[in-house]
Chains A and B, each alone.
Chain A
Amino acid sequence: MTSSILPQPVAALAEPVAEVQRPLHADVDREADFDRHATALYRFFLVRLANDRHAADDLMQQLCLQWRQGGRHVPGDELEFWLRRVARNALTARWRKNRRRPDQCTLADPALAAELAERMVREELPPGLLEQRETRQQLMLALTTLSTADQELIVSHYFQDRSFAEIGKALSLSERAVEGRLYRARQALRARLAHLEENEKEFRS
């Protein structure tokens, strides 16, 4: 298992992602709302900025600022949608301001992604294909468009090798419920991969 990197993503579903800094008298519940999506949003930026941590940090700061200014009033069940929209706008605004997209940024290849989505359900993918940079990029682009909950399930189970029981314990769910959710997350990932162009169109112009 090569990925190690995401610390306790499952726990992140139930708790704030980290002991993040906040003013002492802030509304703790609201902070937790933001924190719940922070890792997924950060990953969204990193994947589209060729792992440039500093640029992703800047965009996360901007996102946090906008959330404090306007996002706190967004109802809880709409917050993720709101945050993702702001994140996309922030990324495109950054590229527009710099007049163009950075050379190293990851681009969607809809044809390759669609082919991958098809092959993933029909055949055993050869190891060489998974090691290709383009393949990895399309998978990462699709993964990071998933909802936080789906994304963390996929990451926990497939990238961090956590069992249904471990995930279920962290989420207070039965193993069967976890299996069902993971099934839906897989299908969502495949659908995103098959329609990557639609999800990434604003980043292609």
Chain B
Amino acid sequence: MNPNHDPHDAQLDRNLRAAGRSISLPDAPTAEQAAGWKRAAPVAPASLGLSEGGTRRRVWRFAGVGMAVAASLAFGVISLWPTGHAPVEAKQIFASFTEKLSSAFRVSFENIVADGVHVDGQVIAVFPEPSGDDSADTTGTGVCAELHVRGDKSAEDFAGGDIDLRFALTPGHEWAYLRLNKLPREVLKEGGPVAAIIYGMTHDGLLLKLDGFLEGKLAGLGEHFDLARAFREANHEVRHAMKNVHTEIHSELKKTAECDASNPENEEAAQIARALQELLPKLFSGGATSEDLQTLGSILEQAAGKVTVTPMSDGTTVLEASEFKADEGDEDTEMIARLVLRIVYRPQVGVERAEVLNVGESNGRVRIELGNASLNDTMFDESRLIDGNRTRVLDLGELMKVFGPMIEQAIHEHEDSDDDDSGDDDDE
């Protein structure tokens, strides 16, 4: 039918025009996102012809193994090398990493299984820019987490358990959510009526609204909580903690290297350390060249049987290392051998993302994205979690208004009674 002679189509046309004016489409992917999808595909092997093999013994001692591989492999191997001759440079490198970590990050883990416990989820944090001013803008900042934990038959204390946990904290939206989909079998057997009550309260979801609880005055308790200020303080704490971690690891590694001064292996480590001293500042500042990345690949070959460095058409370079070998006697040899480390580097920006594949018993994935995490409004919208009248909602702020004075009185009475008791002791 000719569209010009179809009155129904003409009406449809007008309504679609109105819809187009009032409905926003979801965001389109950016070129960077589209590039990220392509990175998921296997990187072409030996694209720069790096050789395989090499000595692999000591790197694991430095890097550590286990669930912390995401952080320690991606950044530990390359930034925490025992640069005994140049602690200042090491600090600068780590400061760069800390800066990125503390502004925004996303850690996601998928299909991570350990001892029968399965975990999927993500944590996203966006902190305000560091500022000495307490009134600094905190718009767009916040922390949210989504975790799904379940236990299979082999999970000792959690067999059969299945829990959803979520929380979100951003100025204006603060809540925590728990849904107990299934109770662990042990709890079912031994928990009795208490377990039944807890299950009854949470199996359709329990939403704890924290707005009035955290923000402003905690009625009756006389405490004040400023979430925006808490974020700023958290930012400071993260930075401080990361610096402490760095100092401790650095000190430990330096000690290890000095203890083995007579060992010829140490000379090899020293050579690598010198190369890294030149390379790492460039890598984290985005100033590394393709030759530098090849050098980094060669260094990683100390730990990995196979390393590829692949320049991509969007300008990034993907460094992938696999076939890792563990130290002799390491219990995790098989798991380590399966791991694949992937680092994405962008010129002028630096390391953009690091991920470790084939983690744990079920070949899970851990990914760390630095500096470019963003928060989605839907993550903070607690209404999506409320399922009609089935989900229980507790407003802790309102509860505190009612029970706060009673709690305060109870605390004071308890303190007074402690004082009396101690006074009696003194008398005796």
Residues on A facing B (Cβ under 8 Å): 1-3, 5-7, 9, 17-25, 35, 38-39, 42-43, 46-47, 50-54, 57-58, 60-65, 68, 97-100, 103-104, 120-125, 127, 130-131, 136, 139-140, 154-155, 157-161, 179-180, 182-183, 186-187, 189-190
Contacts and interface: CB of A to CB of B under 8 A. Distances in A.
A120 B11 contact: yes
A160 to B, nearest CB: 8
Contacts of A186: 9, 12-13, 16
B34 A51 contact: no
A64 B42 CA distance: 10
A6 B20 CA distance: 13
A64 B162 contact: no
B25 A5 contact: yes
A152 B401 CA distance: 54
B381 interface: yes
A52 B108 CA distance: 14
- Interface residue SS majority, chain B: mixed
A155 B384 contact: no
Interface of B: 3, 6, 8-9, 11-31, 33-44, 47, 106, 108, 110-111, 120, 122, 124, 148, 150, 162, 181, 310-314, 316, 374, 376-379, 381, 384-385, 387
B11 A161 contact: no
B310 to A, nearest CB: 6
B384 A51 contact: no
A190 B6 CA distance: 14
Contacts of B122: 54
B313 A5 contact: no
A128 B427 CA distance: 78
A17 B15 CA distance: 28
A43 B37 contact: no
B314 to A, nearest CB: 4
Given A24-B313, A39-B28, A140-B23, A64 B37 contact: yes
B72 to A, nearest CB: 23
Nearest to B36: A57
B392 to A, nearest CB: 15
B26 A51 contact: yes
B26 A61 contact: no
A180 B11 contact: no
A61 B342 CA distance: 15
A130 B23 CA distance: 8
B3 A180 contact: yes
Given A22-B313, A155-B25, A179-B3, A52 B378 contact: yes
A103 B34 CA distance: 27
Nearest 4 Cβ contacts at the A-B interface: A21-B35, A61-B40, A158-B20, A104-B384
B164 to A, nearest CB: 9
B19 A99 contact: no
B22 A131 contact: yes
Nearest to B7: A121
B292 to A, nearest CB: 19
Nearest to B379: A52
